[in-house]
């Protein structure tokens, strides 16, 4: 079973354990085992979908355009509100600032590259 | 209308971007710019006589700002046509031409966090009372003064353009 939350797809499998009353849920290869009493205590979304998946540190394109400047490099640390790149859309210059503080894991675009709205531009950790 | 006026400045856009409390529709006006900007790295020749200003735009949806930027060129074109009986030509997305030569340009600069526009300023350069252009520009740029043979009222034009933008943004956002 696949579940899409935000842009991420989670592969979820549910098994009945041999032990009476226990259920195993596998989310993207991570396994979580629930007993009846535990199910009452812990909400499933919090257990099966780790928090970091909800707060993915990704900088997305707000609009179609061309990358005109990149101000950061991989492995740089960025602060919240730091300018990371400029995206030229046909009629505008858009300066993108980071909503996160963190280290740049990956820059997925190059200067001059055409990109589409919602494309991931930068990943942070 | 609140206007911050300069005799000479590097660029009204740069000043607008550095404002600590950018109030919507605040205008930064300069009689002369030393590094007037066009889109990207383009330079906007900005000697005394022309109309150069930036206007802080209210926080809006990014698509609406894009539409407003295109419409700004139409507002300028329409004004030139109606008030001065000239035949402007809009070169999309944001330049206005007269007799095949550029007379006005528009640039919008936004600061965006995720999808929220934190700041937006539109810069407009309109060649109004410029008597002549340097050699390297005289075949590509013109002014209202050159085309009309007389001077125009910069502040009046500024007010009309701002009013036009306000009206249009209202329509777009609805």
What is the percent of chain A where pLDDT is above 90? 40
pLDDT of residue A31: 75
Same domain, A62 and A34: no
Residue A80 pLDDT > 80, yes or no? yes
The domain of A35 spans 2-42
**Residue A91 within a domain:** yes
Give the closest residue to B37 by CA, choosing from B144, B125, B168. B125
State yes or no: cis peptide before B35, omega within 30 of 0. Answer: no
Provide mean pLDDT across the span A35-57.
50
Q: State whether A99 and B108 contact (CB < 8 Å).
A: no
Mean pLDDT, rounded, of chain B: 91
Same domain, A67 and A37: no
pLDDT of residue A40: 47
Same domain, A81 and A113: yes
Same domain, A38 and A9: yes
Give the closest residue to A92 by CA, choosing from B39, B10, B15, B55. B39
Same domain, A62 and A120: yes
Same domain, A117 and A62: yes
Q: What is the pLDDT of residues B7-22, one digit of tens each?
A: 999 999 999 999 998 9
Question: How many CB pairs below 8 Å do chains A and B form together?
Answer: 56
Provide mean pLDDT across the span A91-114.
92
Band of pLDDT at residue B64, cut at 50, 70 and 90: confident
**Residue A51 within a domain:** no
Same domain, A70 and A26: no
CB contact A42 to B (< 8 Å): no
Looking up tokens 């006026």 gives: B5
**Residue A48 within a domain:** no
Q: What is the pLDDT of residues B111-123, one digit of tens each?
A: 998 778 999 999 9
What is the percent of chain B where pLDDT is above 70? 97
- The CATH number linked to A115 is 2.40.50.100
Provide mean pLDDT across the span A97-119.
92
**Residue A20 within a domain:** yes
**Residue A113 within a domain:** yes
Give the strands of the sheet with A23-27, arranged side by side: A2-5, A8-16, A23-27, A30-34
CB contact B108 to A (< 8 Å): yes
Three-class DSSP category at B64 = helix
**Burial of B140 from C-beta contacts in 10 A (0-12 / 13-18 / 19+):** exposed
Nearest to B109 among A60, A90, A93 (CB): A93
Domain count, chain A: 2
Same domain, A69 and A99: yes
Q: What is the pLDDT of residues B89-113, one digit of tens each?
A: 988 778 899 999 999 999 999 999 8
pLDDT of residue A49: 45
Q: Give the side-chain half-sphere CA count within 13 A for B76.
A: 31
Nearest to B112 among A68, A90, A94 (CB): A94
The pairing of strands B27-30 and B3-6 is parallel
| Spatial distance between the Cα atoms of B101 and B45, rounded to a whole number of angstroms | 14
CB A15 within 8 A of CB A23: yes
């Amino acid at each position: 079973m696949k579940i899409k939350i935000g842009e991420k797809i989670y592969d979820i499998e549910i098994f009945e354990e041999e032990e009476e009353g226990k259920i195993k849920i596998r989310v993207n290869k991570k396994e979580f085992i629930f007993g009846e009493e535990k199910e009452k205590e812990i909400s499933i979304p919090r257990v099966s979908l780790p928090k970091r998946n909800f707060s993915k540190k990704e900088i997305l394109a707000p609009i179609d355009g061309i990358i005109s400047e990149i101000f950061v490099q991989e492995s740089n640390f960025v602060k919240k509100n730091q300018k990371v790149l400029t995206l030229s859309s046909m009629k505008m210059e858009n300066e993108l600032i980071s909503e996160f503080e963190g280290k740049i894991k990956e820059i997925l675009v190059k200067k001059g590259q055409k990109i589409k709205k919602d494309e991931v531009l930068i990943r942070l950790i | 209308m609140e206007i911050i006026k300069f005799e000479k400045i590097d660029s009204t856009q740069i000043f607008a971007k550095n404002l600590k409390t950018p109030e919507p529709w605040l205008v930064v006006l300069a009689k002369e710019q030393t590094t007037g900007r066009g889109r990207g790295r383009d330079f906007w020749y900005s000697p005394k006589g022309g109309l150069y200003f930036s206007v802080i735009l209210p926080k809006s949806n990014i698509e609406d700002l894009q539409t407003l930027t295109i419409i700004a060129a139409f507002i300028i074109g329409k004004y030139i046509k109606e008030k001065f009986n000239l035949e402007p030509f809009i070169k999309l997305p944001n330049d206005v031409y007269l007799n095949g030569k550029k007379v006005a340009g528009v640039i919008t600069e936004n600061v965006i966090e995720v999808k929220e526009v934190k700041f937006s300023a539109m810069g407009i350069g309109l060649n109004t009372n410029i008597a002549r252009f340097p050699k390297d520009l005289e075949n590509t740029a013109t002014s209202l003064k050159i085309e009309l043979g007389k001077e125009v009222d910069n502040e009046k034009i500024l007010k009309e353009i701002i009013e036009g933008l306000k009206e249009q943004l209202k329509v777009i956002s609805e």
